[in-house]
C-alpha cells in the first residue's frame, strides 16, 4: 500500500490525490510528534492562567470576551463542535472529505495548533480506517475557514454524527469507531478550534482540480488538433516562431501540443498547396493556443497558490515558534477562493471554444465537404446534431458557474465575521465545471473522430489516428443513428481518465 508522510514537509498535489482517491495510508513523521507535544505544553500553561486567552479559556467568535471556567471547558469544546456541525444539503464526495481530513492532519502536525498528540493520532486512525464523515454541501462561508465541514469531521472524532465506512455503507460514528478499535476523543482546551479553523475543504478541492485539469487541458489540445485536421484546417498559425512573438508560456506549450498531434497527417498534406484558397481558419481553430495557453497560465498561477497553501499552518489562535499564542486572520479563504474562480473562468472558455469546433464539424456550410451533422443519411438520420445541443447546454451552464463566488460576502457571527471568502462555494462550482468540461471535450472527440473517419481514404496523423482507434474500441464508427447517450458517456470517460491524452502520446511522446 502507498504511504504518505505528514509533518515532515509540505504535501504535494499528487500526495493529496493519492490519499483522497487512492486510499494511501498516512503516517506521522517522528519530528512532528515533538512539535505537537511542545505546542501542547504552551496551551496547558495558558489553561491554568487566570487571564483569559481566546479559544483556551473564552468563548468563540462574537463570544470571545466570555470567560469560561476550567470545569466548563470540556463542555465548551464539545459544544463548539456540535453547534458548528450545522451543514445541510447533499453529501460531499468521499474524495473531498478525505482530502479535507488529510490537510487538517497536516496542519495539526505542524505544531502550531496546540492539539494533543493523542487527538492527532485518533484523527489519523479515522482517516486510515477508511471512515468518512458525512459532510454536507452547504455550511461553509470560507471564513473562519471551512467551519461546518471540518466540524462534521471533528464530531465523528468525538464518536458522534454519521459516517460512511470503508465499504461506503452509512453508519453511526460511534459504531464505526468501535468496529475500527478507535476510542472517541474528549476534546481539551483549544482543540475544538484547532479542528475547525482551516481552509482545508476548499484547498483539498483545489488540489483535486489541479490534478484533473492537468489532463483536461492537454486533452483539449488533442481535441482541437483532431477537429482542425478534420475541418481541413492549417497548422501554420501554430508555428513556433509565430507563437514566440507573444512570449506567453502556456500559449507556447499548447501550440507545441497541437503541432505534435497533427504531425504526419495525410489529411493535412492534401490541402497544403497554393491552389487551396483558405487563408485563415476560424478563431476556434487558429486561436486555440491562445485560449488553451491562457487557461494553462491560469492553472500555473493556481498551482503556485496551492503550493504555498499546502505549506501553511492555518489556525486561530496559532502557537508561534517562540511560544506565543496569537490571534490572526490566516483562515480567510481569499487566496484560495480567487484562484478557484479564476480556474472556473478558464474552464468555461476552453469548453466554449471546444463547442464551437464541434458545431463547425456538423455544419455542411463550414465543414469543407463533410455530411450534414456527420449523419449517414442526412434527413433520415440526425447524426450528431443533438450531441452539439448537449455540449451547448453544458457551456451555457459553465458560463453561469464562471460567475465568481469570491466577490460575494455575507456577514456572520453578529458582524464579528463581517467579510467572508465564499471559497468553499467557489470550489464546489469548479468541481461541477470540470465535469462539464470533460463532457464537452468528450463530444468534440466523438465528433472529430467520426469526421476523421469520413475523410477516408485520407489518413489522419498518427496521434489522432491513435485516439480514433482507442475510441473505436468502445464506440462504433460512422453509420445509421444509434442510441447516442452511452457513446457520449464513453467519450467523456476517456477524456476524464486520461485515455485520450495517453492515446495521442503513444505517437507524440509526452505532451505539455
491's grid cell: 467519450
Task: Give CA–CA dist 166/177, Å, rounded.
Answer: 12
Q: Residue 318 CA to chain centroid, in angstroms?
A: 28
Torsion of CA 443, 445, 446, 451, to 10 degrees: 120
171's grid cell: 453508519
Contact 349, 291 (CB under 8 A): yes
Task: Give CA–CA dist 127/306, Å, rounded.
Answer: 22
Task: Give CA–CA dist 256/461, Å, rounded.
Answer: 15
Short-list 78, 95, 112, CA closest to 18: 95
Short-list 26, 47, 52, 252, CA closest to 120: 26
Q: Is residue 54 among the annotated active site residues?
A: yes
The full DSSP string for 425-437 is HHHHHHHHHHHHH
Which residues lie closer than 8 Å to 202 by C-beta, 6 or more apart? Answer: 140, 142, 146, 333, 336, 337, 340, 423, 424, 426, 427
Burial class (CB in 10 A: 0-12, 13-18, 19+), 462: middle
According to DSSP, residue 199 is labeled -
Task: Give CA–CA dist 436/444, Å, rounded.
Answer: 13
| Cis amide prior to 457 (ω within 30 degrees) | yes
Q: Which of 54, 138, 283, 389 is catalytic?
A: 54
Contact 396, 341 (CB under 8 A): no
242's grid cell: 509565430
Catalytic positions, please?
Answer: 54
Amino acid at each position: 500500500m502507498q504511504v504518505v508522510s505528514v509533518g515532515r514537509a509540505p504535501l504535494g498535489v499528487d500526495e493529496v490525490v493519492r490519499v483522497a482517491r487512492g486510499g494511501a495510508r498516512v503516517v506521522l513523521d517522528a519530528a512532528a510528534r515533538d512539535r505537537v507535544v511542545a505546542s501542547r505544553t504552551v496551551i496547558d500553561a495558558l489553561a491554568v492562567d487566570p487571564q483569559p486567552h481566546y479559544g483556551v479559556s473564552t468563548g468563540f467568535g462574537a463570544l470571545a470576551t466570555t470567560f469560561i471556567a476550567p470545569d466548563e471547558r470540556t463542555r465548551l469544546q464539545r459544544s463548539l463542535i456540535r453547534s458548528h456541525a450545522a451543514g445541510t444539503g447533499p453529501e460531499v464526495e468521499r474524495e473531498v472529505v478525505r482530502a479535507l481530513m488529510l490537510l487538517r492532519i497536516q496542519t495539526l502536525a505542524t505544531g502550531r495548533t496546540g492539539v494533543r498528540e493523542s487527538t492527532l493520532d485518533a484523527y489519523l486512525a479515522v482517516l486510515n480506517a477508511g471512515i468518512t464523515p458525512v459532510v454536507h454541501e452547504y455550511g461553509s462561508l470560507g471564513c473562519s475557514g471551512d467551519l461546518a465541514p471540518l466540524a462534521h469531521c471533528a464530531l465523528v472524532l468525538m464518536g458522534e454524527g454519521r459516517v460512511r465506512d470503508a465499504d461506503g455503507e452509512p453508519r453511526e460514528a460511534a459504531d464505526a469507531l468501535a468496529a475500527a478499535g478507535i476510542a472517541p476523543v474528549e476534546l481539551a482546551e483549544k482543540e475544538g478550534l484547532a479542528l475547525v479553523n482551516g481552509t482545508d475543504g476548499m484547498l483539498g478541492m483545489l488540489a483535486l482540480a489541479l490534478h484533473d485539469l492537468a489532463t483536461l487541458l492537454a486533452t483539449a489540445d488533442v481535441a482541437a488538433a483532431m477537429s482542425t485536421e478534420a475541418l481541413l484546417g492549417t497548422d501554420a498559425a501554430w508555428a513556433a516562431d509565430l507563437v514566440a512573438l507573444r512570449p506567453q508560456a502556456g500559449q507556447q506549450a499548447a501550440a507545441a501540443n497541437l503541432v505534435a498531434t497533427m504531425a504526419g497527417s495525410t489529411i493535412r498534406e492534401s490541402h497544403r498547396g497554393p491552389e487551396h484558397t483558405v487563408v485563415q481558419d476560424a478563431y476556434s481553430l487558429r486561436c486555440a493556443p491562445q485560449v488553451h495557453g491562457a487557461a494553462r497560465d491560469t492553472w500555473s498561477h493556481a498551482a503556485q497558490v496551492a503550493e504555498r497553501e499546502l505549506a501553511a499552518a492555518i489556525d486561530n489562535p496559532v502557537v508561534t515558534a517562540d511560544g506565543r499564542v496569537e490571534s490572526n486572520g490566516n483562515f480567510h479563504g481569499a487566496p484560495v477562493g480567487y484562484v478557484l474562480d479564476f480556474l472556473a473562468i478558464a474552464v468555461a472558455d476552453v469548453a466554449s471554444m471546444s463547442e464551437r469546433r464541434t458545431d463547425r464539424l456538423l455544419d455542411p456550410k463550414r465543414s469543407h465537404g463533410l455530411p450534414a451533422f456527420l449523419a449517414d443519411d442526412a434527413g433520415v438520420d440526425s447524426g450528431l446534431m443533438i450531441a452539439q445541443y448537449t455540449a451547448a447546454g453544458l457551456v451555457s451552464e459553465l458560463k453561469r458557474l464562471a460567475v465568481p463566488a469570491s466577490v460575494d460576502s455575507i456577514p456572520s457571527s453578529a458582524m464579528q465575521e463581517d467579510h467572508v471568502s465564499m471559497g468553499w462555494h467557489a470550489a464546489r462550482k469548479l468541481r461541477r465545471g470540470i465535469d462539464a468540461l470533460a463532457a464537452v471535450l468528450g463530444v468534440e472527440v466523438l465528433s472529430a473522430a467520426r469526421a476523421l473517419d469520413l475523410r477516408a481514404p485520407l489518413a489522419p496523423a498518427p496521434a489522432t489516428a491513435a485516439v480514433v482507434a482507442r475510441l473505436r474500441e468502445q464506440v462504433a464508427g460512422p453509420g445509421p443513428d444509434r442510441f447516442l447517450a452511452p457513446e457520449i458517456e464513453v467519450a467523456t470517460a476517456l477524456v476524464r481518465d486520461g485515455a485520450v491524452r495517453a492515446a495521442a502520446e503513444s505517437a507524440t511522446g509526452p505532451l505539455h
